[in-house]
Amino acid sequence: MTGTPRQTFRIEEYLWRKFKAKCRREGYTASEVLRACITAILDGRLKISKLKPVKVKRGVKMSDFYTAFEQWLKKNT
């Protein structure tokens, strides 16, 4: 086997594209940033709780959260 095996995770396409673009603007690849983030978590330099991850039930789409948030913004701003 050559190279590093690829891992799979779920993320909305729009978020992934924005993330890759931000990484590129700062001179990194998305893979480099993800590896640095994972290493920082494992080394204890970054706490998962500080990231405030959203738990998602299986089958729920992240776009459902964005739709609800956009509706909340319209009502509250």
Q: pTM of the predicted model, to two decimals?
A: 0.64
End-to-end CA distance of the chain: 53
Torsion of CA 49, 62, 77, 51, to 10 degrees: 10
Report the helix count and the strand count for the chain, using DSSP H and E: 4, 0
Interval 19-73: pLDDT, tens: 999 999 999 999 999 999 999 999 999 998 888 877 766 766 666 667 777 777 7
User: Are the C-beta atoms of residues 20 and 30 closer than 8 Å to each other?
Assistant: yes
